[in-house]
């Protein structure tokens, strides 16, 4: 099937027609005329972005198919404008062998909505004790290039050092969930004024910052590549800024919810706002927005973490950590960063497509919208208004933190390897 997209605004702001044929961008420029049998997509007023790449997604399969499957998560990703997601390793069984990562990779191919790039566990069973067979996962059909114990911190400094050293052999990266475990035993929310008043056990900023400080120094010492997941505090931003100034090879991500929300939400005791790392203070939220704008934080990663209703329909302390994000990430970034003039669409393309593809070493994703490039792109309507109704989202779980919110901007179409996965706002 070939398509002709008429009148889209490229990230540069230039208007162009885009012809998609044979899985590639055949022509970008124009004006172009539709050929016989070519479907025309009216993109007047829409922004064309390279297909989004999520460096941090939980697809839950295998093991928690009641929360999400590779298929439902892939459809959610496409609906949100993504053409590639990195599926985290904390499944059951854990993705710590070539067999499991290949299974997830094959499920992704069978689903057929996005590139599903499995993340391999750093340690066997996420236990933080023994290195998993990283090379086997890297050399498997899944071609794993991102390793993470996400959900758990690689706390042991020796294990972290060995992982950073070992992945150099195949150009991979260690993505750290920075959480000092002893400082966060029983932790429920950000430790600060709000936690002192609502009486929920605190998750102090220092528990994140101390691990990041250690890890950037380890990465420098062994000359390896580090990626920091879901940076949530102003102090973490300062450490990463310092590390980059020292030319340490570190990248970092921020989630849409840490850009948007603060710990004030915990006053409702609604467990949908329980997430790890927790929602922080308004000063922290402003610091991560500023750091995304100036590039200190390289990418937006969703940390899409679906949970079945019963995992959230309970006391805050008993509830699971996490919130969904794939279908709302781009509108949130649009509202917070683009409408406010803090980022251009080129900046968004870099933070949500090009840089995450580079971090994950995904060669055919995150490419510029130019003739001859793979046809991975999304069309976004910045003027659309829509109300988030959890039951109408593609994800199998309802734990979106923006239920009932009216968001500005919506994905109208997504093309993955030349195939339309979303058209007229509907997953196809």
Q: Name which of 22 and 199 has its Cβ closer to other proteins.
A: 199
Q: Which of 283, 313, 424, 426 binds other proteins (CB under 8 A)?
A: 313
Q: Name which of 316 and 386 has its Cβ closer to other proteins.
A: 316
Q: Which of 314, 363, 371, 428 binds other proteins (CB under 8 A)?
A: 314
Under the binding rule (CB under 8 A), the answer on residue 234 touching other proteins is: no
Q: Name which of 261 and 343 has its Cβ closer to other proteins.
A: 261
Tell the smallest beta-carbon distance from residue 204 to other proteins (Å). 7
Q: Which of 133, 249, 316, 364 binds other proteins (CB under 8 A)?
A: 316
Tell the smallest beta-carbon distance from residue 392 to other proteins (Å). 21
Burial code (b: 16+ CB inside 10 Å, e: under 16) for 249-269 equals bbbbbbbbbbbbbbbebbeee
Task: List strand residue ranges (DSSP E) for 111-172, in order.
Answer: 115-118, 146-147
CB 301 within 8 A of CB 255: yes
d(CA 173, CA 136): 15
Binding mask 262-281 for other proteins (x = CB under 8 A): ------xxx-----------
Tell the smallest beta-carbon distance from residue 325 to other proteins (Å). 23
Tell me if residue 87 falls in helix, strand or coil. Answer: strand
CB 197 within 8 A of CB 205: no
Q: Supply the Cα-derived Rg of the chain in whole angstroms.
A: 20
Known active-site residue 249? no
Under the binding rule (CB under 8 A), the answer on residue 31 touching other proteins is: no
Q: Name which of 202 and 382 has its Cβ closer to other proteins.
A: 202
Under the binding rule (CB under 8 A), the answer on residue 404 touching other proteins is: no
Under the binding rule (CB under 8 A), the answer on residue 197 touching other proteins is: yes
What is the helix (H) or strand (E) element at residue 25, kind and residue range? strand 24-29
Q: Name which of 110 and 201 has its Cβ closer to other proteins.
A: 201
For 329, which DSSP code?
A: H
Name the residue with tokens 């996962």: 137
Under the binding rule (CB under 8 A), the answer on residue 315 touching other proteins is: yes
Under the binding rule (CB under 8 A), the answer on residue 199 touching other proteins is: yes
Stretch that binds other proteins, among 48-56, 125-133, 314-322, 331-339 (CB under 8 A): 314-322
Q: Which of 204, 235, 277, 356 binds other proteins (CB under 8 A)?
A: 204
- Alpha helix stretches (DSSP H) within 80-126: 98-111
Under the binding rule (CB under 8 A), the answer on residue 318 touching other proteins is: yes
- Alpha helix stretches (DSSP H) within 169-302: 193-198, 205-222, 234-245, 256-260, 282-294
Tell the smallest beta-carbon distance from residue 195 to other proteins (Å). 6
Under the binding rule (CB under 8 A), the answer on residue 1 touching other proteins is: no
d(CA 153, CA 421): 35
Under the binding rule (CB under 8 A), the answer on residue 198 touching other proteins is: yes
Q: Name which of 186 and 341 has its Cβ closer to other proteins.
A: 186
Under the binding rule (CB under 8 A), the answer on residue 282 touching other proteins is: no
Name 146's bridge partners: 173
Tell me if residue 346 falls in helix, strand or coil. Answer: helix
CA 45 to chain centre: 26
Q: Which of 121, 311, 351, 396 binds other proteins (CB under 8 A)?
A: 311
d(CA 72, CA 108): 10
Options 150, 303, 347, 381, the catalytic residue: 303
Under the binding rule (CB under 8 A), the answer on residue 196 touching other proteins is: yes
Q: What is the pairing mode between strands 250-254 and 299-300?
A: parallel
Q: Give the number of residues written for the chain.
A: 428
Under the binding rule (CB under 8 A), the answer on residue 310 touching other proteins is: yes
Under the binding rule (CB under 8 A), the answer on residue 405 touching other proteins is: no
CB 279 within 8 A of CB 261: yes
How many positions of this chain bind other proteins (CB under 8 A)? 24
Under the binding rule (CB under 8 A), the answer on residue 325 touching other proteins is: no
CB 174 within 8 A of CB 224: yes
Please give the residues from 155 up to 194 whose contact with other proteins meets the rule CB under 8 A: 191-194
Stretch that binds other proteins, among 7-15, 121-129, 254-262, 308-316 (CB under 8 A): 308-316
Residue 365 phi/psi, 5° resolution? -120, 160
d(CA 37, CA 19): 13
Under the binding rule (CB under 8 A), the answer on residue 51 touching other proteins is: no
Under the binding rule (CB under 8 A), the answer on residue 322 touching other proteins is: no
For 412, which DSSP code?
A: E
Residue 34 phi/psi, 5° resolution? -65, 135
Residues that bind other proteins (CB under 8 A): 191-202, 204, 268-270, 310-311, 313-318
**Active-site positions?**
303
């Amino acid at each position: 099937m070939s398509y002709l997209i008429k009148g889209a605004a490229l990230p540069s702001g230039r208007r162009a027609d885009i012809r998609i044929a044979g899985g590639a961008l055949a022509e970008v420029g124009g004006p172009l005329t539709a050929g016989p049998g070519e479907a025309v997509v009216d993109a007047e007023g829409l922004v064309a972005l390279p297909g989004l790449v999520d460096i941090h997604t939980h697809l839950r399969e295998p093991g928690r198919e009641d929360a999400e499957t590779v298929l439902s998560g892939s459809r959610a990703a496409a609906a949100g404008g993504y053409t590639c997601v990195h599926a985290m390793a904390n499944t059951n069984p854990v993705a710590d062998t070539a067999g499991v990562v290949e299974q997830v990779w094959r499920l992704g191919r069978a689903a057929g909505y996005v590139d599903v790039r499995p993340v391999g566990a750093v340690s066997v069973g996420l236990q933080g004790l023994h290195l998993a067979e990283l090379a086997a996962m890297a050399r498997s059909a899944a071609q794993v290039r991102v390793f993470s114990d996400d959900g758990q911190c690689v706390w042991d400094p020796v294990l972290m050092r060995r992982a950073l050293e070992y992945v150099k052999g195949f150009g991979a990266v260690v993505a750290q969930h920075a959480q000092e475990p002893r400082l966060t035993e029983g932790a429920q929310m950000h430790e600060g004024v709000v936690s002192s008043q609502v009486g929920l056990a605190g998750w102090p900023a220092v528990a994140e910052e101390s691990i990041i400080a250690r890890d950037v120094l380890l990465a420098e010492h062994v000359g390896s590549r580090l990626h920091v997941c879901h940076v949530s505090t102003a102090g973490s931003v300062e450490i990463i800024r310092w590390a980059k100034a020292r030319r340490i090879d570190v990248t970092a991500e921020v989630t849409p919810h840490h850009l948007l929300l603060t710990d004030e939400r915990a006053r409702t005791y609604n467990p949908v706002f329980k997430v790890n790392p927790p929602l922080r203070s308004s000063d922290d939220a402003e610091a991560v927005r500023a750091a995304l704008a100036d590039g200190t934080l390289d990418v937006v990663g969703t940390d899409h973490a679906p949970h079945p209703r019963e995992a959230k329909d309970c006391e805050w302390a008993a509830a699971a950590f996490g919130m969904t994000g794939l279908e709302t990430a781009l509108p949130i970034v649009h509202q917070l960063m683009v409408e406010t003039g803090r980022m251009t669409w080129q900046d968004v393309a870099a933070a949500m497509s090009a840089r995450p593809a580079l971090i994950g070493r995904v060669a055919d994703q995150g490419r510029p919208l130019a003739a001859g490039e793979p046809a991975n792109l999304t069309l976004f309507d910045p003027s659309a208004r829509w109300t988030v109704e959890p039951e109408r989202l593609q994800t199998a779980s309802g734990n979106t933190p923006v239920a009932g919110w009216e968001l500005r901007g919506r994905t109208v179409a997504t093309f993955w390897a030349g195939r339309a996965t979303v058209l007229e706002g509907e997953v196809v």
